[in-house]
């Protein structure tokens, strides 16, 4: 992490917020753009989960993290609270690592 | 409850806290703040584990203040990706805040200075809480109280997590999995919408396929192709397409 990246991210994030709220304010985007932007979190968050579960640099691996995230998925499916999902994911990963 | 400036909305009823709707907003946003705090702790831990200093980690939360972007950038850097790749994914995720701004603009009047402060607080939680209100005054209150509460919890808990991250070995405690586990919890409710489920499936598969063949961090950008699930305009979804 460099300070340049911190500042670039800060300027970009605030830029988007100001663009929407202050500069464009109240105008409407074409419906198709609206729909696609609304899907950014789903697409990217899914990708980040995959990367942080199976990725190791440029290699794909199945290790303790897969067990932890598997349990986290089950917990989310069973509507466990956020804290439980996170703690279970971390704890199972740590335990599998310890055992392995 | 926070130092967030409430916009000058003219005549304000004498007993703000006596209004049940306002009390409900305040209690909901504090609950939300605590939940967000848990995320922030895991962000702080992961950020430090990915090589950021405590100061950089706190600066990210104070200045960037949009969780998914921060998580994404730190995650890419942590696995050895370039700054450009880290920036790209984070910027894409930040773009949705512009849409929230567009949605909130008609409801947040006030002077330019007030709006510039409001912009920083325009995030998932404050927008969702605001648009859930029927009354224009409640909308403004919900926006400011939620935004302020989340800002407070997000930043204090980021510091806590960053300090914790320097004190323990994240791998020993499985904290590298806390990160994706938190994202599983975020993603799950989104999957109820059919389009979002398709976008997530495409994003996940594209990422999996591109990990071995592209530089670290780039698969996250490739996954953005999943948003094309929003292109078909047909609103009619088969019955049962959206789970309750």
**What is the full per-residue pLDDT of chain A (100 aa) written as tens digits?**
899 999 999 999 999 999 989 888 767 788 898 888 888 889 988 998 999 999 988 899 999 999 999 999 999 999 998 889 989 999 999 999 999 8
- Rounded to an integer, what distance in angstroms lies between the CA atom of residue B154 and that of residue B39? 8
Q: At CA B85, angle to CA B83 and CA B91, rounded to 5?
A: 95
- Rounded to an integer, what distance in angstroms lies between the CA atom of residue B107 and that of residue B102? 10
- In the predicted structure, residue B110 carries a pLDDT above the cut 90: no
User: How far is residue B26 from each of residues A81, B17, B59, measured CA to CA in Å?
Assistant: 20, 9, 27
> Does B175 contact chain A (CB < 8 Å)?
yes
pLDDT digits (tens, 9 = 90+) for B120-155: 999 988 888 888 888 888 889 889 999 999 999 999
How far off is chain A from B11, nearest CA to CA, in Å? 24
Of the two residues B145 and B242, the one the predictor is more confident about is B145
> How many helices (H) and strands (E) would you count in chain B?
11, 0
CB nearest A86 (choices: B66, B178, B191): B178
pLDDT of residue A78: 95
pLDDT of residue B23: 84
Q: Phi, psi (5° rounding) for residue A66? A: -60, -40
Q: Tell which residue, B195, B158, B78, has the closest CA to residue A1.
A: B78
pLDDT of residue B3: 46
Task: Pick the residue of A7, A14, A21 with the most B CBs within 10 A to test the interface with B by mutation.
Answer: A21
Q: Which residues sit opposite A55 in a β-bridge? A: A60
- Rounded to an integer, what distance in angstroms lies between the CA atom of residue A65 and that of residue A71? 10
**What is the three-class DSSP state of A59?**
strand
Q: Which residues sit opposite A59 in a β-bridge? A: A56
For B55, residues 6+ apart whose C-beta sits below 8 A from its C-beta are none
The answer to whether the beta carbons of residues B40 and B158 sit under 8 Å apart is yes
pLDDT digits (tens, 9 = 90+) for B190-204: 899 999 999 999 999
The answer to whether the beta carbons of residues A81 and A52 sit under 8 Å apart is no
Q: Which residues sit opposite A60 in a β-bridge? A: A55
Task: Categorize the per-residue pLDDT at B12 as very low, low, confident or very high, splitting at 50, 70 and 90.
Answer: low
pLDDT of residue B91: 94
- Rounded to an integer, what distance in angstroms lies between the CA atom of residue B124 and that of residue B100? 8
CB nearest B231 (choices: A22, A36, A95): A36
Q: What is the ipTM of this complex?
A: 0.90
The answer to whether the beta carbons of residues B138 and B16 sit under 8 Å apart is no
Of the two residues B85 and B11, the one the predictor is more confident about is B85
Of the two residues B159 and B75, the one the predictor is more confident about is B159
> Is the CB of A43 less than 8 angstroms away from the CB of B199?
yes
pLDDT of residue B155: 97
- Rounded to an integer, what distance in angstroms lies between the CA atom of residue A29 and that of residue B171? 44
User: How far is residue A13 from each of residues B99, B127, B157, measured CA to CA in Å?
Assistant: 12, 16, 20
User: How far is residue B43 from each of residues A98, B78, B223, measured CA to CA in Å?
Assistant: 24, 12, 22
């Amino acid at each position: 992490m460099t300070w340049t990246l911190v500042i670039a991210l800060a300027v970009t994030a605030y830029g988007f917020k100001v663009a929407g709220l202050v500069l464009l304010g109240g105008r409407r985007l074409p419906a198709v753009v609206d729909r696609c932007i609304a899907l950014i979190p789903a697409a990217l968050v899914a990708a980040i989960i995959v990367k942080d579960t199976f990725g190791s640099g440029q290699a794909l691996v199945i290790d303790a993290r897969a067990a932890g995230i598997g349990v986290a998925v089950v917990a989310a499916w069973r509507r466990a609270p956020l804290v439980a999902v996170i703690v279970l994911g971390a704890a199972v990963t740590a335990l599998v690592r310890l055992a392995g | 409850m926070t130092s967030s400036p409430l916009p000058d909305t003219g005549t304000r009823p004498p007993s703000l806290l006596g209004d049940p709707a306002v009390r409900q907003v305040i209690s909901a946003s504090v609950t939300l703040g605590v939940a967000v705090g848990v995320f922030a702790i895991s962000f702080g831990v992961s950020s430090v584990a990915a090589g950021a200093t405590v100061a950089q980690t706190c600066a990210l939360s104070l200045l960037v203040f949009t969780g998914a972007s921060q998580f994404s950038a730190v995650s890419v850097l942590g696995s050895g990706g370039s700054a450009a790749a880290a920036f790209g994914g984070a910027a894409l995720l930040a773009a949705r805040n512009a849409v929230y701004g567009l949605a909130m603009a008609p409801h947040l009047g006030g002077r330019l200075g007030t709006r510039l402060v409001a912009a920083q607080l325009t995030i998932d939680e404050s927008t969702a809480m605001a648009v859930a209100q029927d009354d224009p005054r409640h909308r403004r209150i919900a926006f400011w109280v939620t935004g302020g509460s989340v800002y407070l919890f997000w930043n204090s808990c980021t510091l806590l997590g960053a300090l914790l991250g320097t004190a323990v070995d994240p791998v020993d405690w499985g904290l590298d999995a806390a990160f994706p586990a938190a994202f599983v919890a975020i993603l799950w409710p989104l999957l109820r919408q059919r389009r979002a489920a398709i976008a997530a499936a495409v994003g996940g598969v594209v990422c999996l396929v591109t990990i071995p063949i592209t530089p670290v961090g780039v698969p996250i950008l490739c996954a953005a192709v999943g948003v094309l699930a929003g292109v078909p305009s047909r609103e009619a979804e088969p019955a049962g397409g959206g789970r309750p």
